[in-house]
């Protein structure tokens, strides 16, 4: 073919298209491409036929969610089954800000139902977070009203709120939980692992707005927490709480505490403190209200420690029940220090040293004992060691090593100065007198059958002699006739101690009384402490002993313990138990 004088060759015969590469390279490229296609086909076969989990997981991650199912926290009840703490179902309202596009009217409606500030709510809804809580623990009826609004991006979860039917009466022993249902104080914290339970979960399918469109099923059912039954008796707790509160109000005191324990089992039947708080409403709390003073506060016990010094002297054969101790002229000089009695008594028997609460008599008896033996006795009673009840903040008090004791320090420790204990430690120590000389641990929960025996500290004979001496304390001539209870024999000891401030004794007092009844066969131990009374009468026999009488008398009658004495009280005693209303 000719075109304007030139010959036009066939297109396929153009020199430009002449193949200059070796033929094997094209075959190689074809093979590589074939292998790539084979690999893709193999991978597709592997993912779609053999291993389907990967793609299934990726697909489900777009629409399937595992939601937590809350477990109910275990209940706390008293020994009779009365509920002290229970979880009630509530709802939490949350939002996915990216989907929660609410108009001003919807925002205003939601804020009104949540009792929240509309501006603050808008700020949460416009957050760049993937998830925000709008309100925790709202009542179900309010949650239903929010659901009815059908707001986009707004969801709800079920949760629980702790409720305490007995309120401030049992606040310090039961404690409370936080918004996440975890124990923060008291039994709620001590038994957290048992009460908490384990949350479950379920699978659901959600749309792009976060709304559940299908419930796939349950993966793991929730396990509710274990119920805890305390040794506490609500009726006796009310007696301790109400009478302690009244005594602190009447005496204008700073604070106080009371404990009731079963002498046979060591069970804590009541534990009350003042000031206290309402665990259902903790908006305005102070540290003073939260303190479980009976367990966490230590103090110099004063004369309530004299019976232990006398018991050790009896045990070692240094004195006998009627041994005469000359306490005249009511003063005793040791080095540069002087020990005094509230009044001069002259010669007293050992029993009268307890009855009259003579510091001079106790110091002279302590001088007959080696310091190491006194320390060993205090240590054996649990002083200087935490009582291991499981309560948060338990303290061991202060018991200095015997090698550092000077003569004056040994003398003052014989009547409860220079040593610090908690009210709980004191209650446990007095079980040796109520139980014929053996010491048992105390228990917050039901201890079951009567304990057979504890750790021997004193002989049975010594314990019974001390019991007789302590019974003289509440009789005419003793320091606590106001502790008497019509129909029951009572034994106990008063304590009145100056408070230490900045290493110096201040003109402030701590008054106490601890005792047990019926003295013929002790069943209950009651300890009462009044901190910094604001009136002139600050002695334990005037302030703490009447509270003991009211609480012990009411508790004995509540438990149906038969009387062991005439109904009338001894002459000279003011019988508050007969006047008080239980």
- 190: enclosing H helix or E strand: helix 186-190
Write out pLDDT tens, residues 389-438.
888 888 999 999 999 999 999 999 999 999 999 999 999 999 999 999 99
**How large is the average pLDDT for residues 167-173?**
94
Per the document, the length of the chain is: 582
Q: Is the predicted pLDDT of residue 214 greater than 70, yes or no?
A: no
440 near 452, Cβ under 8 Å?
A: no
Tokens of 558: 């509540």
Give the domain range for residue 192: 64-93+158-230
380/312 same-domain check? yes
240/218 same-domain check? no
CA–CA dist 540, 512 (Å, integer): 5
Q: How far is the CA of 257 from the CAs of 260, 270, 549, 559, in angstroms? A: 11, 11, 15, 22
Structural Rg of the chain based on CA atoms? 38
Cβ-Cβ contacts under 8 Å for 342 (sequence gap 6 or more)? 357
* Number of domains observed in the structure of the chain: 2
CA–CA dist 290, 16 (Å, integer): 97
278 near 171, Cβ under 8 Å?
A: yes
Using DSSP's 3-state secondary structure scheme, residue 102 falls into coil
316/434 same-domain check? yes
219/278 same-domain check? no
CA–CA dist 294, 291 (Å, integer): 9
433 near 463, Cβ under 8 Å?
A: yes
- 217: enclosing H helix or E strand: strand 212-220
**Residue 442: Cβ within 10 Å count:** 23
Supply the CATH number for residue 360's domain: 3.40.710.10
DSSP state string for 473-504: HTSTTSS-GGG-BTTB--EEEEEEEEEEETTE
| 303 flagged as catalytic | yes
Q: Is the predicted pLDDT of residue 210 greater than 60, yes or no?
A: no
240/365 same-domain check? yes
Average pLDDT score, the chain: 85
529 near 424, Cβ under 8 Å?
A: no
Supply the CATH number for residue 190's domain: 3.90.1310.10
281/373 same-domain check? yes
Which of 212, 230, 248 terminates a domain? The answer is 230
**How large is the average pLDDT for residues 512-530?**
97
Choosing from 234, 242, 251, 303, which is the catalytic residue? 303
Bigger pLDDT: 453 vs 439: 439
Using DSSP's 3-state secondary structure scheme, residue 389 falls into coil
Which of 208, 230, 252 terminates a domain? The answer is 230
Q: Does a structural domain hold residue 194? A: yes
CA–CA dist 151, 146 (Å, integer): 8
Q: What is the pLDDT of residue 64?
A: 58
pTM: 0.81
pLDDT grade, residue 122 (50/70/90)? confident
Cα distance from N-terminal residue to C-terminal residue, the chain? 133
401/530 same-domain check? yes
Write out pLDDT tens, residues 461-511.
999 999 999 999 999 999 999 999 999 999 999 999 888 777 777 888 999
DSSP state string for 328-362: TTSEEEETTEEEE-SS---EEEHHHHHHHT-HHHH
Q: What is the pLDDT of residue 575?
A: 42
Tokens of 73: 């926290």
């Amino acid at each position: 073919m000719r075109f304007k004088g030139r010959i036009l060759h066939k297109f396929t015969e153009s020199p430009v298209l002449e193949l200059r590469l070796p033929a094997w390279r094209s075959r190689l490229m074809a093979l590589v491409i074939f292998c790539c296609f084979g690999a893709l086909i193999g991978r597709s076969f592997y993912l779609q036929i053999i291993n389907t989990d990967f793609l299934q997981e990726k697909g489900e991650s777009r629409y399937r969610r595992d939601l937590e199912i809350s477990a109910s926290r275990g209940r706390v009840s008293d020994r009779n089954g009365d509920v002290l703490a229970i979880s009630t179902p509530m709802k939490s309202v949350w939002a996915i800000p990216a989907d929660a596009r609410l108009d001003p009217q919807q925002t205003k409606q939601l804020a009104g139902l949540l009792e929240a500030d509309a501006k603050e709510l808008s700020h949460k809804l416009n957050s760049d977070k993937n998830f925000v809580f709008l309100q925790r623990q709202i009542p179900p009826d309010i949650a239903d009203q929010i659901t009815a609004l059908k707001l986009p991006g707004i969801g709800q979860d079920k949760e629980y709120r702790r409720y305490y039917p007995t309120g401030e009466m049992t606040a310090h022993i039961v404690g409370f939980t936080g918004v996440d249902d975890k124990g923060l104080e008291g039994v709620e914290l001590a038994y957290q692992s048992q009460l908490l339970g384990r949350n479950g979960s379920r699978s659901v399918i959600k749309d792009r707005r976060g709304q559940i469109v299908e419930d796939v099923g349950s993966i793991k059912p929730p396990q509710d927490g274990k119920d805890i039954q305390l040794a506490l008796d609500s009726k006796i707790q009310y007696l301790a709480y109400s009478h302690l509160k009244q005594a602190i109000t009447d005496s204008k005191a700073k604070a106080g505490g009371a404990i009731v324990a079963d002498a046979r089992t060591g069970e804590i039947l009541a534990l009350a403190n003042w000031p206290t708080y309402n665990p259902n409403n903790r908006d305005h709390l102070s540290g003073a209200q939260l303190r479980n003073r009976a367990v966490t506060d230590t103090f110099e016990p004063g004369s309530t420690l004299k019976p232990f010094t006398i018991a050790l002297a009896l045990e070692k054969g240094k004195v006998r029940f009627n041994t005469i101790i000359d306490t005249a002229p009511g003063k005793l000089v040791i080095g540069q220090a002087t020990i005094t009695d509230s009044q001069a008594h002259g010669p007293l028997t050992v029993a009268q040293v307890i009855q009259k609460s003579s510091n001079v008599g106790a110091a002279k008896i302590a001088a007959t004992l080696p310091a190491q033996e006194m320390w060993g006795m205090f240590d054996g009673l649990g002083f200087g060691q935490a009582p291991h009840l499981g309560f948060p903040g338990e303290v061991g008090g202060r018991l200095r090593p015997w090698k550092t004791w000077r003569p004056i320090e040994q003398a003052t420790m014989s009547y409860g100065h220079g040593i610090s204990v908690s009210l709980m430690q004191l209650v446990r120590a007095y079980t040796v007198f109520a139980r014929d000389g053996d010491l048992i641990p105390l228990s917050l929960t039901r201890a079951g059958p009567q304990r057979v025996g504890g750790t021997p500290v004193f002989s049975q004979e010594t314990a019974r002699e001390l019991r007789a001496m302590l019974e003289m304390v509440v009789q005419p001539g003793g320091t606590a006739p106001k502790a008497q209870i019509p129909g029951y024999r009572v034994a106990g000891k008063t304590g009145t101690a100056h408070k230490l401030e900045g290493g110096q004794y201040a003109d402030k007092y701590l008054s106490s009384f601890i005792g047990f009844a019926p003295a013929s066969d002790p069943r209950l131990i009651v300890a009462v402490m009044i901190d910094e009374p604001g009136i002139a009468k600050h002695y334990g026999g005037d302030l703490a002993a009447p509270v003991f009488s009211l609480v012990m008398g009411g508790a004995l009658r509540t438990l149906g313990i038969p009387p062991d004495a005439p109904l009338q009280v001894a002459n000279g005693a003011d019988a508050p138990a007969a006047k008080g209303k239980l």
